[in-house]
Amino acid sequence: MHIETNRLIIRNFKDKDAAGLYEYLAAPPVHCFYSEKVNSYEEAVKKVKENGDGHGDCYAVCLRDTDFIIGEIFTMKEHPDTYSIGWNFNLKYGRKGYAKEAAQAVITNLFENDARRIYAYAEDDNLPSQKLCERLGMRREGLFVEFISFVNNSDGTPLYENTYQYAVLKKEWNMK
């Protein structure tokens, strides 16, 4: 995938993305990205290579003027025509509309191809992702109580998180 917007380039990962990826994955702000945490620059290099080798549909989101990575967007197809979408951005670049701009571009691209329905998950304590889903015109479809565990409690037991599901249909997106 290669998409350009006014301010962003959404593309496959490149070796040069390791430093930027390390910035936002060294200390993930939400539990759902703890498994992606990198503890060194070397681990960031390895993760960039994995992402660049076509493991999944994860794309670098870069500033158009510098091609510096500020986050990532990932999608997963569920046959025949449904996709999940998610994102992870460097908090240094927050509150500038980059996540919305990137997500809109990727959602539009998916709908222009074979998507009929796109959904996203956001844990109940991840207000920025919930707000982004709503700004994208996705509807909140439900709350999964104690849906998934990304981390453990201090006693070693799983900490189950409540998770919202948001979605939008192609026919709704086209009405925007």
Whole-number pLDDT of residue 21: 96
Tell me how crowded residue 86 is: count the other CB atoms within 10 A of its CB: 18
- pTM of structure: 0.92
Does 142 have pLDDT greater than 80?
yes
Least confident of 46-50, 100-104, 132-136, 139-143: 46-50
Q: Across the chain, what does the average pLDDT equal? A: 93
| Single-letter code of the amino acid located at 75 | T
Tens digit of pLDDT for each residue in 67-80? 999 999 999 999 99
Query: 55 pLDDT exceeds 70?
Result: no
What single string gives the DSSP state of each residue in 38-105?
Answer: -SSHHHHHHHHHHHHTTSSEEEEEEETTT--EEEEEEEEEETTTEEEEEEEE-GGGTTSSHHHHHHHH
Q: What is the pLDDT of residues 14-32, one digit of tens each?
A: 999 999 999 999 988 887 7
Across 80-102, average pLDDT: 96
pLDDT tier at 56, thresholds 50, 70, 90: low
pLDDT in tens, 24-53: 999 888 877 878 889 999 999 999 998 876
Is residue 66's pLDDT more than 60?
yes
Neighbours of 107 (CB within 10 A): 23
Cis-peptide, bond into residue 158, ω within 30° of zero: no
